Amino acid sequence: MSTSPTSAPTTARAAGWVGPLCWIAVLLDGFDLVVVGTVVPTLRTPEVWGLSGSGATAVITVGLVGMMIGALTIGTLTDLIGRRKALIGAVISFSVFTLLCAFAPNAEVFGVLRFLAGLGLGGCLPTAIAMVNEFSRAGRSGRATTTMMTGYHVGAVATAALAIVVIPEFGWQWMFVIGALPALVLVPVMIAKLPESAAFLVAHGRRAEAEEVAARYGLELEQPEAPVAVGAGETSAGGAAATLRTLFASAYLRNTIAVGVTSFMGLLLVYGLNNWLPTIMREAGYDLGDSLAFLLVLNVGAVVGLLVAGAVADRVGARLAGMAWFAAGAVFLGLLSVELPTAGLYAMCFATGCFVFSAQVLVYAFTSAHYPPQVRATALGWSAGAGRTGAIVGPVITGALVTAGIAFPWGFYLFAVVGVLGALALSITRSR
């Protein structure tokens, strides 16, 4: 969705609600990215649940399975019922089940609640990206995506910082209480202020409503630039099937496969690092405070990297920028395996965060720019869902290395190879 250059005041109002509300929703998603990694070392102690390495892997993985299912289903649902309803529903869902995690009496109940929270979390990201892109100015979709995704890592940074203080003083349960509380304010504001996307409305034949939204927010109505399967805009089971068929039609098949593979690699890195970095660093001889600090620095680097990556993507294209970011991430992941003074490891963690996490967001930016509005959220859901498969595999592999006692340094060697594969997979895509 592009905005009219003559409607600056109206556009400012759109940015005043759509961007920040989606940013905060993604911030809560970012909280979930890190929170399990911060509490796993505590859950593994005999005083709590005494989780084994495989038990810790299970409670991490079950939430990721929920996220994968949520991304694949809610992404498609978003193209059928609308961005607004899907995003609000996702925020309510994952906030309620995150709160309930604080009261889990054992690892089994905790795992069930993590799965249920994951369903909403999985749908939040593709929906928010679709909406923000459809309210962004022409030529700035890369920056719109990466700027919104800073919320993801601000949430991760805040969670890592909170964990350093909250877990030793108040207990691991309070991390989940704190993570759920913002929804009490966010959801009512979203209901009152979040508009529906004009691109969604026009795709569903509601042109009069779309024109009203476009006029109110200073938008130009977006039209498909490539054929879409018949029925893709219908709110029915047939419409959902047609939407999914479009992703695998000849015009999109190559990109759909390549984006899925690239996202698999990207989220394998993101979740493998965020869930296991504190534990790996403790195995390398650092105490809990230092290990959590590495996680914090990693995500501070992600925020800085996103701000740079968006500007680069809008200049050279998300495809080329993403390839460069994956390759650079691979280099710094390899360097994390080198034994360095603490200050040197902080620098390596910062640089790794700059490139690794931004690389995956550039995949989302590419996806959003290369699919028409009728199937944009579905395509983003596919990208996120395929990526969540990598998010499941990453912690499982890393957990196996932790159990075997060889996660440092072999985990970082594995991550470096994955970064290279991500760059190669993205190179297969075609820009329109």
Which residues, at least 6 apart from 301, have a Cβ–Cβ distance to it below 8 Å? 349, 350, 351, 352, 353, 354, 357
More confident: 178 or 226: 178
What band does 238 get if pLDDT is binned at 50, 70 and 90?
low
Over residues 301-342, the pLDDT tens digits come to: 988 998 899 889 989 999 999 999 999 999 999 888 887 777
pLDDT score recorded for residue 355: 95
pLDDT score recorded for residue 141: 62
More confident: 367 or 134: 367
Over residues 355-370, the pLDDT tens digits come to: 998 999 999 999 988 8
pLDDT score recorded for residue 14: 36
More confident: 81 or 325: 325
What band does 42 get if pLDDT is binned at 50, 70 and 90?
confident
Q: 161-165 contacts: CB < 8 A, separation 24 or more?
A: 161/296, 163/34, 163/35, 163/38, 163/39, 163/292, 164/289, 164/292, 164/293, 164/296
Check pLDDT > 90 for residue 210. no
Highest mean pLDDT among 42-46, 290-294, 318-322: 318-322
Q: Is 188 exposed, middle or buried (0-12, 13-18, 19+ CB in 10 A)?
A: exposed
Check pLDDT > 50 for residue 351. yes
Check pLDDT > 80 for residue 119. yes
The per-residue pLDDT of the chain, averaged, comes to 83
pLDDT score recorded for residue 257: 94
Check pLDDT > 50 for residue 233. no
Alpha-carbon gap, residue 342 to 164, rounded angstroms: 17
Check pLDDT > 70 for residue 422. yes
The answer to whether 378 and 203 are in contact (CB under 8 A) is no
**Mean pLDDT of the 177-192 span:** 92
pLDDT score recorded for residue 63: 85
pLDDT score recorded for residue 263: 95
The answer to whether 69 and 122 are in contact (CB under 8 A) is yes
Check pLDDT > 50 for residue 227. no
Which residue type does 338 have? Answer: V
